[in-house]
Amino acid sequence: MSLPEVIVEADGGSRGNPGPAGYGAVVYAADHVRVLAERREFLDIATNNVAEYRGLIAGLEAAAELGAESVLVRMDSKLVVEQMSGRWKIKHAALIPLADRARRIADGLGRVTYSWIPRAQNSYADRLANEAMDEGTGIAEGRAPAADTRQGEAADPALAVTERDLPSWIDEVRDVNAEQSKPAQPGPGWTGATGRPTRLLLLRHGQTELSLERRYSGRGNPPLTALGREQAARAAKMLAAKGDIAAVISSPLGRARETAEAAAVALGVAVEVHDGLIETDFGAWEGLTFAEAAQRDPGLHARWIGDPTVAAPGGESFEEVLERVRAALRDLLERYPGANVVVVSHVTPIKTLLRLALDVGPALLYRLHLDLASLSIAEFYLDGGSSVRLVNDTSYL
């Protein structure tokens, strides 16, 4: 019996990256209602990317067993979707044989297309992957760890690959990373910088009620909303897929720490708090909208939006923020030379770090937009050079 069309949804995860990993895959009929097959498996120690590819392979194999003639693959891994669609190169040694294995299966199916979906729409496969990891580590219902079910792996070396002993460069998903393992590698553009930089992955915190209502939110401590927590989870999954991250540094405020904690758990590191990354103190304007602050202090507010030396009533100026962020940057560069570091902070400190990397004036503060839970990347070299790699990425949300 053959089926004209099926839908495959697949996912994979790792608790530690690398760490105990598992995948899940489900095959639907073309109506996306009737489940035709499901697969899940614990993978011992692997990374998120390997687990995601293994989920794809399992889903394609299940579709082949059903005699599918056309397959729509839906995954929330943009890396896998873009690589399998041929738009992104595969540079990571551990993923090449897995992608080849998936392509061989796809070639036998006829027509296979790939589509990215938000994580929330991939909940079935995500649940299967988590069940596999729970069972494999003995968590589910107090059971003993599941036996190794990978008897067939020796016949296909691609399925035995993990990433424990292989590099995992941070920008592989965007194909913008230079070969930084080589000493004295030139920096980007015409900077003349050499060596491996300290790369700061600047992550803005997730949504709060104040940010939703577009109110000044400085030293107040509103928690993340449900959407904010989901944004933090998606950002964490994206960062875990990148790997090779030495530390997660956070502002002391709760909304940033909650966002940072999600990333730290996914990466298997502890959150470090740095007071220099705290948001601007908006003083008496805390909790007000732009219009309310302008109505309360019209003259002062008009000067404040164009002069970084002017402070809100009882607050701090952007010039003061610049000095403490500059000091925080020096501290991070001294502590993490040549490392990839996640910095979870707020609009003004992140804009200020980008301003320092670009060596530009305060106009950037007023002209650059940063979305909630967005990622920007700045690099700082030992010889003083710097560059900005990425600004306001939200593709993973």
Q: For residues 274 and 364, what is the distance between their CA atoms, to the nearest angstrom?
A: 24
| 131 among known catalytic residues | no
Give residues with Cβ within 8 angstroms of 266, minimum separation 6: 17, 236, 237, 239, 240
| 92 among known catalytic residues | no
Which listed residue (38, 82, 172, 205) is catalytic? 205
Q: Where are the beta strands (DSSP E) in the chain?
A: 6-14, 19-29, 35-46, 70-75, 111-116, 198-204, 247-250, 271-273, 340-345, 375-380, 386-393
Residue 315, classed as helix, strand or coil, is coil
DSSP state of 218: S
Q: For residues 251 and 280, what is the distance between their CA atoms, to the nearest angstrom?
A: 11
Q: Which residue is listed with tokens 């909790």?
A: 287
Other C-beta atoms within 10 Å of 182: how many?
A: 10
Which listed residue (41, 52, 82, 279) is catalytic? 279
Q: For residues 128 and 26, what is the distance between their CA atoms, to the nearest angstrom?
A: 9
Residue pair 109/3 in contact (Cβ under 8 Å)? The answer is: no
Residue pair 233/300 in contact (Cβ under 8 Å)? The answer is: no
Instruction: Say if residue 262 is exposed, middle or buried (CB neighbours under 10 Å; 0-12, 13-18, 19+).
Output: buried
CA dihedral of 217, 220, 221, 223, whole degrees rounded to 10: -40
Q: For residues 342 and 262, what is the distance between their CA atoms, to the nearest angstrom?
A: 12
Q: For residues 355 and 346, what is the distance between their CA atoms, to the nearest angstrom?
A: 14
Query: Phi/psi at 382 (nearest 5 deg)?
Result: -65, -30
Q: For residues 154 and 161, what is the distance between their CA atoms, to the nearest angstrom?
A: 11
Q: Give the active site residues.
A: 205, 279
